Structure formats: C-alpha cells, structure tokens
Amino acid sequence: MTPRTPPADRPGTILVITHNELADVSWIDELARTRAGTLQIVSPIAGDGLPAHDAVAAAIVLGGEMSADDDDEYPALATERTWLRTAVDTGLPVLGICLGSQLLSVALGGAVQRGDTGLEHGYIDVVGVPGASHPLAHTLAGTHFSFHSDSYVLPPGAQILARTERYVQAWSQGSALSLQFHPELSPTGIQALVDVEGPKLATHGVDAGGWVAEATRRSPQSRTSADRIIGGWLDRALCPPHLSTHRSTPMITTTHAPFIERHHLYTPEAKAQAAESLARIGELDIEVIRLAWPDQHGLLRGKSMSRDGYASALANGVEITMAPFFFDTANAIVFNPFSPDGGFDLPGLQGSPNVIMVPDPSTFRVLPWAPETAWVLCDTYMRDGQPFPFSPRAILRRQLEELSQEGLRLIAGLEVEWYLTKVIDENLSNGSLGAPGMPGDPPTVAPVARGYNYLLENHLDQIDEALRPIRRSIQQLGLPLRSFDDEWAPSQIETTFDVLEGMAAADAATLFRMAVKQVARRNGYHASFMCTPAVAGFYGSGWHLHTSLQDLHGNNVMIPGEGEALSELGRHYVGGTLAHGAAASVFTTPTVNGYRRRRPYSLAPDRLSWGLDNRAAMVRVISYPGDPVSHVENRVGEPAANPYLYLAAQAAAGLDGIRCRRDPGPPSEDPYAEDVQRLPQSLAEAVDTLAADQFYRTAFGDAFIDYMVAVKRSELSRYDAWLEQHPNSDEYVNGVTDWEHREYFELF
C-alpha cells in the first residue's frame, strides 16, 4: 500500500458522494462545520467527476436506490468503485453508508446479494460485536434507521463491528468504515424517502406514516447517534493542525496526540471540568489527588497522584496493572495471566498488560476527612481507546445509552442499610494478615447500640457522636443526603438519598460507601456493608433501589392514571424486572452471605412478585394517579452489591420489558404465598442461572458474563471447601459462618 500524504491546502475538505436527490447531508454538514471542515458534494451517476485522492481529507459515500453492481444502468458506479479501492489502498479515510457500504464491499472484493425481502427495514436494534478493535466500535450499538433491498458478502479480511441477529450492520477494513444503517437521516430526510419511495415501501408492508412519526420522536437520539458515529469519524479524519504538520500514515490513526485527545474521550464539558479541577487544586493547595476506579466487586482501587501526576493524567491517563481483575473477593487468582489469551478468551489481555485509567473530571471532590487530598473517579481503557471489557462503569454506561436511544433516562434513589460498630482490636499484631485466597482476620468489634426497637430516636442520639463526622463528610461531598434512620437490628443504620440520574446514582453509592468506611475507621469505628455479619443479634441488611424513568424533557413516564398502579410503560418496566430477576441475582446479591435474607416473612423478597406498597414483594410500587414522584422499589439487593452492575442489570431488564411489552400480571396481595417463581436461594444457584441466561449475555456480552461466572465460582469453591472442614452449624453465629465473616465483614 502506498502511504497517502494529505493535501496541505485543503486539509478540511470532506468529499460526499451522493446517488440520488434524497441524500440528506444537513447533519453531516453541521458536524463537519463544527470541526472546521467543509463538504464537497458530487454525484458521479449524474455526471460529476471525482477529485484526485490527495485533494480531499476523507470521503463519505451515501445511499441510493440502485444496487452496488448495477453497472448496466449506471456505468459511473464502476468508476466510483475503482476510486474507492484506490482511496482505501492509499489510506484515505472512507465512510460508506447503506449503498455506500455495499459499494465499498464490492470495491474491496465482496459481492452483492440481491432481492432479499426479509431484510430489516425501519428502526432496528444494532448490537456491537465483543472484542471489536476499531476505534469507533463502541459507538455503533443502538437503534438505527435502515432501508435496503440487497445484502452483500463482506470483502476478504473485513472485521465485523456490529450486527443484528441476521445481518452484519457495520464492518471495517483498513481505512474504510462501512455502515448498512443510516445514522445521518433527519426526520426531513425520512419524510423525503417516504414521499419518493412510497410504492416500494408498500410492497414491503411498511407503515410509512409510522416511520415519520418514529423519526420525529427519535430525533434527539438520532442527533446523538450521528454526532457519536459520524462526528467521531470526522474527528479522526480531520487531523487538527496542532497535532502534526505532516502525516505519511493513514489519517485515521493520529497517533501523535495525547491519549485522551487521540481517542476523543473528553467532551468539551469534560475539558472545562478538567481545567476547573486543576484550578481548584491550586487554590486549595491540594497535595495529593486519589485516582480510583471501581473493580468487578464494586471495590475502589487506584493510585495517589501528585499535582503534576494528575495534570499528566488529564492528558494521557495513567497506566495501571489489570492484575486486580484476575482476583475473586479474597484475591485468589482466578485466571492465568500468562496463557495465550490471559485466561479471558479476548485479544490483548495476555501477560497481565497495563490498561489506561482516565479521570472523569466531573467526579472531582475534595475529601473533608483527608487533609489536602482530592479524589477523582476514573474509567479504564485499553491502549486502542476502547473501554476495558470488564469495566463495571462502562457496562452501566452502555445500558444507559440504550435507554437514551429509546428517549428515556433512568432516575434512581438510594436506600442502604449498614452496620456501625466500635473497633476493640484491629488484630494486626495477634491475628492473620491474610494471603492470596485467604483474607486476614477482621477487627474485633462491639455494637454501638441496642436493637429491635426501630426508628427509636434515643438510639440515634446515643450514636450521634459517631455519626456526626460521617454525616458532615457526606454533605460536604455534595451527595444529596436525606436521612439517617435507626434500623431494626443493633447498630444497624439506614441511609437514604434524593434521586439522581443513573450514572450519578451509581457514583454516589460508591462514594458514600467509601466515605462511611474511611471516616468511621479514622474515628475508631468499623462500618460494614456486609449483609449479615457474624455478630450476635445482627440481622440482614438490604439495599432497596428506587427507580423511575423520565423522558428526555424530564417528565416521569411511569405516572399512573386513575385506576392504574403504573402507566403502561411502567408496568412493562416491572414486567422486565421480574422476567430477568433470577438471572440478575449475581448483580443484585453477589455474595454467599447475601442470600441469608431470602426467606419468607423477613421483609426481604424470596420470589418474583410485585405489589402495591407491599414490602414483601420483590418490586414494591409506590405511586398515586398523577403523582410526579411515582416509582418502583427493587427490594432484592444487598448493600455489598456493585452499584454499577446493580443499576445496569435494572436498566437492561426494565428496558427489555418495555421493548417486549412484558406483562407482570396482577400485583400480589400476599407475595410470600404467591405461586410464582422463587428467586435463587444461594449464590451457587444464582451463578448457574446467570451462566445459562441468554438475555444478560446479549446485554452485557458473553465475555463479561463468562468472566463474572468464573470469578464467583472461585469464591464458591473456597466456601465449599471450608464447609467440608466445618460442617457443624452450631459453631456459626446467627447462622453465619466464620468464612463469610472473614471474607466480607472488613472488605465490604
């Protein structure tokens, strides 16, 4: 391949090749102009000539009503295909859409398959292919508009990036990116298509009016998709002048830019937040900035950076070992990092490589309890700019994007129970300090209050000295704290927060647990989010997740009308939550200990039911006709759940209920007696259920599900081995084994 040298005099010219009068270039033009680019629009089938390859920075090839090899009627197509082949051979970035995708395929050695009337038409759900390495692969999943009567055979060596169940929808080869769907169509463009192609649409049984209405409803999401896909492609095609004065390699690489800029990981808002965080560090004389990321267990890991180190991280991220992702909850090594695929059956993970930790400057906080210390939450990426495949935050982000594609936002409120105890002995000098697969001795503790009174005001006063620094720190962090409550058991506390959007809620839960544990320990106390500690008199704690859905204008779409428990959409959301509740158990209740809650008449659910303001049901509906705060409460979770995976599982299940119009049936009046499917009664049962579940494999990816199953089975194998050696349940405290207490009490 001969390297291409971009033209010095026309670095921002994007060639747009059209094939009929329906071409909709309005959004493309707007996206190009915001990047200092201009469009040159030509139509070879109308007689326009194609420019020299070095006269343009990149090319976009749009759709048309003909087939890609229809040379008899349109001889110019042969010339166009030759031009495209040369473009790819010389490294010119080329984006093919619909017919343009087919032209690229034929030009590069593929072929057209004509007349398959079973092809998807209208708005289709496109899913990404796990492990795809193209820089834009993560942007392609979503609901997109598609209309075509031909499919095609991919050219040799093409990498599949996204597909539906039946057809490839996106692929890449060299500098070419090919899309069968239309991210660029506006409602006006679809209306023009309907006006001209009416007879053809009728032969396919298409509700053309429905398409136009759907296009109008989806316009905000379509704009987001166009910006994400076409805008991201333009960012890579248009080399900014400050990055390089000359390139002899294909422009899609732009390797000279800092990592975050090269992979376009910061929006303009994030760039402004990054600059603001640097200014605050100077103003407040911050000495150290903790960069942290959530691991597969929901635990925070990270590094403490100097000011200069943090400034560098805002440009290039921070290289970190992926070693913690090999571990189960006791740091037993689950995968062999030195096998050919690192034990993960995914490319690029062999040999325990580094990944890149990228700060999210919107999460910048100054820690009230740690002098001259700031804190920033991070995302993890592979070296090619793709999200790290086992990142819980990336899993949640993808599910929230799926909701956004439907014009919806997840709103969540946190209600978390936990234990506050007084440290009697740290057990550092006279106990085990731990080893891989064997946690050290947890601290010896004592309760701070008596129990089984519930909401007793005197109990809150008795522990106010211990709670005050925790309460103040949470408020100073900016978390929307609502209440601290005296819960049922001795030393058991419930904390509630006002609602937040999905990612902010997960971040808040993560920051809340960190703050509670660190502030308590600095003051001689131990806080634990373990469900049921092995302390005499203690009882199971839960994490009740309150959720509703809003449209993109902020309106609650679950509000019921007269005589309804919820809106129709809300009922389908509940239907999806119940349909996938069993398989979601590993995400809502990830520890051996958490399943001790799942028993009848315990105020925790044991089966897949829903009810109106009924705390025995798994899904409790809290609503009233016309009430704008109508919502549902999922009562199944434990406090040790990974916030990102708990919310991601809820978002995915609820959205599936909406898309599939799942009916939850009538609400239960006696949930513990309801003849419905029971929830998994143990972690082992939950893991087996998840391993066999196709829904979460599709939603989260096979690789991630296989990974979580392997991690949890490692945890279970150690538990089973302990039980064989300690079969006498009379030795347990509250029915809780010493293994559970050692495994979870200090960790969570």
Instruction: Give the CATH number of the domain where residue 587 resides.
Output: 3.30.590.10
pLDDT at 185: 67
Sign of the four-CA dihedral 202, 204, 205, 211: negative
346 and 410 together in one domain: no
Q: What is the pLDDT of residues 496-512, one digit of tens each?
A: 999 999 999 999 999 99
The SS3 of residue 412 is strand
Token pair recorded at residue 584: 């979601």
The total number of structural domains in the chain stands at 3
Taking residues 351-372, report their average pLDDT: 92
CA–CA gap between residue 233 and residue 454 (Å, rounded) = 58
232 and 269 together in one domain: no
Contact residues for 528 (Cβ-Cβ < 8 A; gap 6+): 418, 419, 421, 517, 744, 745, 746, 748
Q: What is the pLDDT of residues 644-689, one digit of tens each?
A: 999 999 999 999 999 999 999 999 988 888 788 899 999 999 999 9
Per-residue confidence band for 369, with pLDDT thresholds at 50, 70 and 90: very high
Per-residue confidence band for 528, with pLDDT thresholds at 50, 70 and 90: very high
Could you give the C-alpha distances from 124 to 128, 154, 251, in angstroms and in order?
13, 20, 31
Q: What is the pLDDT of residues 119-134, one digit of tens each?
A: 667 777 787 776 666 7
Backbone phi, then psi, for 410, in 5-degree steps? -85, 130
Q: Which residue in the block uniquely carries the two structure tokens 């520890």?
A: 591
Q: Which residue in the block uniquely carries the two structure tokens 């409602």?
A: 187
Per-residue DSSP letter, 50:
P
| pLDDT exceeds 60 at position 617 | yes
Specify the higher pLDDT residue, 204 or 546.
Answer: 546
Token pair recorded at residue 555: 């309106």
Within-domain flag for 607: yes
CA–CA gap between residue 51 and residue 42 (Å, rounded) = 9
Q: Which residue in the block uniquely carries the two structure tokens 């549902």?
A: 632
Within-domain flag for 243: no
Amino acid at 130: P
Closest CA to 665 of 609, 581, 585, 584: 609
CATH number of the domain that 168 lies in? 3.40.50.880
**Contact indicator for 579, 677 with CB cutoff of 8 Å:** no
319 and 216 together in one domain: no
How many residues are recorded in the chain?
748
Contact residues for 555 (Cβ-Cβ < 8 A; gap 6+): none
Amino acid at 68: A
Contact residues for 732 (Cβ-Cβ < 8 A; gap 6+): 534, 738
293 and 208 together in one domain: no
Within-domain flag for 248: no
CA–CA gap between residue 560 and residue 568 (Å, rounded) = 8
376 and 419 together in one domain: no
The SS3 of residue 506 is helix
Cite the DSSP H helix spans in 486-638.
Answer: 502-522, 568-579, 585-588
Within-domain flag for 82: yes
CA–CA gap between residue 556 and residue 629 (Å, rounded) = 7
Detail the DSSP E strand segments found in 347-407: 354-359, 365-366, 373-381
Within-domain flag for 606: yes
Longest C-alpha distance within the chain, in Å? Answer: 89
CA–CA gap between residue 6 and residue 97 (Å, rounded) = 23
Closest CA to 239 of 441, 385, 35: 35
CA–CA gap between residue 523 and residue 470 (Å, rounded) = 10
Three-class SS string for 99-159? HHHHHHHHHCCCEEECCCCCCCCEEEEEEECCCCCCCCHHHCCEEEEECCCCEEECCCCCE
Could you give the C-alpha distances from 59 to 52, 116, 725, in angstroms and in order?
12, 28, 68
410 and 384 together in one domain: no
CA–CA gap between residue 571 and residue 657 (Å, rounded) = 8
| pLDDT exceeds 70 at position 599 | yes
**Cβ atoms < 10 Å from Cβ of 38:** 12
541 and 652 together in one domain: yes
539 and 416 together in one domain: yes
Per-residue DSSP letter, 45:
G
Within-domain flag for 733: yes
Sign of the four-CA dihedral 154, 160, 162, 164: positive
674 and 594 together in one domain: yes
684 and 721 together in one domain: yes
CA–CA gap between residue 120 and residue 211 (Å, rounded) = 13
CA–CA gap between residue 4 and residue 53 (Å, rounded) = 9
Closest CA to 85 of 137, 25, 77, 55: 77
The SS3 of residue 423 is strand
Within-domain flag for 713: yes
Per-residue confidence band for 237, with pLDDT thresholds at 50, 70 and 90: confident
Within-domain flag for 456: yes
159 and 215 together in one domain: yes
CA–CA gap between residue 498 and residue 500 (Å, rounded) = 7
Taking residues 383-400, report their average pLDDT: 91
pLDDT at 98: 83
Q: Which residue in the block uniquely carries the two structure tokens 């691991």?
A: 295
123 and 221 together in one domain: yes
pLDDT at 94: 92
The parent domain of residue 736 ranges over 397-429+441-744
| Lowest-confidence segment of 252-261, 380-389, 400-409 by average pLDDT | 252-261
**Contact indicator for 173, 88 with CB cutoff of 8 Å:** yes
CA–CA gap between residue 748 and residue 74 (Å, rounded) = 67
Q: What is the pLDDT of residues 59-104, one digit of tens each?
A: 998 887 777 777 788 888 889 889 999 988 888 899 988 888 888 8
